[in-house]
Amino acid sequence: MEKGSKRSYEAPKLERIEGAAAKVVGHLLNQSEDLKKKNVELERLSTIDALTGIANRRGFDEAVRRMIAAIPPKGIDKNKEREYALHRLAIMVVDIDHFKKFNDEYGHAVGDEVLRAVAKNLVEHVREVDLVARWGGEEFIMAFPGADTERILAKFGERKGEKETPARMEVSVAVDGKTYNIQVSGGVAEYQPGEDFQSTFNRADKALYLAKRTGRNRIVGY
């Protein structure tokens, strides 16, 4: 620059500044929206069992808490039959009979197919409002809003003429051209208004233990 000359400066046009700022803001908003969607998906996946595609223990806990929250702590007058029926909740704990022995004999790949098949079979046995979840290992858990123990036992039992057979469930699984007949045991208990869920679960678990102790391949109510 020559001596005495002045540096020239042209202020950027307002339109260019606003346009650039809008692009930056738009980019940041898109990133924020993508992050929100990813977080929502991660939250959803955290409640799903990766092997079977049904709810996991966390997913079940969250859902059953909402079911219990809808039940008045002091219950409903039994004389109000319709309202009383709507505010009932039955829980069933299900365990695959002799699964460890089956897994050891046929391998984990076949065992995984059995778990998927049992999960699918349980889902096919319930209504849309019911919930099926994998509790852990070969154990599953189910929640039936608006149902009691007797109704669930009747649902899984069979009636032939005047004779009603005990509630039970068997699942056929085909893997690599071989068919395996899988039997399960279950225990059912009904939630009592005002109690915590663990108390209901403990009764259902005791009923499951009774089913195992009295021959397996059956569903027992507490």
Catalytic positions? 138
Per-residue pLDDT of 188-205, as tens digits, reads: 999 998 899 999 999 999
In a domain, 95, yes or no: yes
In a domain, 164, yes or no: yes
Among candidate residues 157, 183, 154, 155, the one with its CA nearest the CA of residue 170: 183
Instruction: Match 């803001």 to its residue by tokens.
Output: 25
The verdict on 73 and 117 lying in the same domain is yes
Give the pLDDT score at 133. 98
The verdict on 25 and 120 lying in the same domain is no
In a domain, 50, yes or no: no
Q: Name the pLDDT band for 162 (thresholds 50, 70, 90).
A: very low
State mean pLDDT over 107-116. Answer: 94
Q: What is the number of structural domains in the chain?
A: 2
Count other Cβ atoms within 10 Å, centred on residue 100. 11
As a whole number of angstroms, the distance between CA 155 and CA 120 comes to 17
| Contact assessment for residue 195 and residue 142, using Cβ atoms and an 8 Å cutoff | no
For residue 38, give its domain range. Answer: 14-45
Structure token digits, residue 8: 């020239």
Count other Cβ atoms within 10 Å, centred on residue 196. 10
The verdict on 61 and 34 lying in the same domain is no
In a domain, 71, yes or no: yes
In a domain, 4, yes or no: no
pTM of the model: 0.76
Q: Is pLDDT of 134 > 70?
A: yes
The verdict on 110 and 213 lying in the same domain is yes
Q: Is pLDDT of 2 > 90?
A: no
Structure token digits, residue 82: 């319709």
The verdict on 136 and 209 lying in the same domain is yes
Among candidate residues 76, 50, 217, 221, the one with its CA nearest the CA of residue 146: 76
The verdict on 20 and 63 lying in the same domain is no
The verdict on 39 and 63 lying in the same domain is no
The per-residue pLDDT of the chain, averaged, comes to 82
Please list, in sequence order, all residues whose beta carbon lies within 8 angstroms of the beta carbon of residue 60, skipping any fewer than 6 positions away. Answer: 131, 133, 135, 141, 143
Give the pLDDT score at 175. 80
SS (H, E, C) the chain: CCCCCCCCCCCCCHHHHHHHHHHHHHHHHHHHHHHHHHHHHHHHHCCECCCCCCECHHHHHHHHHHHHHCCCCCCCCCCCHHHHHHCCEEEEEEEECCHHHHHHHHCHHHHHHHHHHHHHHHHHCCCCCCEEEEEECCEEEEEEECCCHHHHHHHHCEEECCEEECCCEEEEEEECCEEEEEEEEEEEEECCCCCCHHHHHHHHHHHHHHHHHCCCCCEEEC
The verdict on 39 and 62 lying in the same domain is no
The verdict on 24 and 80 lying in the same domain is no
Selected residue with higher pLDDT from 159 and 71 = 71
In a domain, 51, yes or no: no
| Contact assessment for residue 124 and residue 130, using Cβ atoms and an 8 Å cutoff | no
**Exposure b/e, 68-84, CB count within 10 A at least 16 = b:** beebeeeebeeeeeeee
Q: Is pLDDT of 32 > 80?
A: no
Per-residue pLDDT of 169-191, as tens digits, reads: 788 888 888 898 999 999 999 99
The verdict on 71 and 91 lying in the same domain is yes
Per-residue pLDDT of 36-92, as tens digits, reads: 654 554 455 489 999 999 999 999 999 999 999 988 876 565 555 565 566 789 999
Instruction: Match 């259902």 to its residue by tokens.
Output: 204
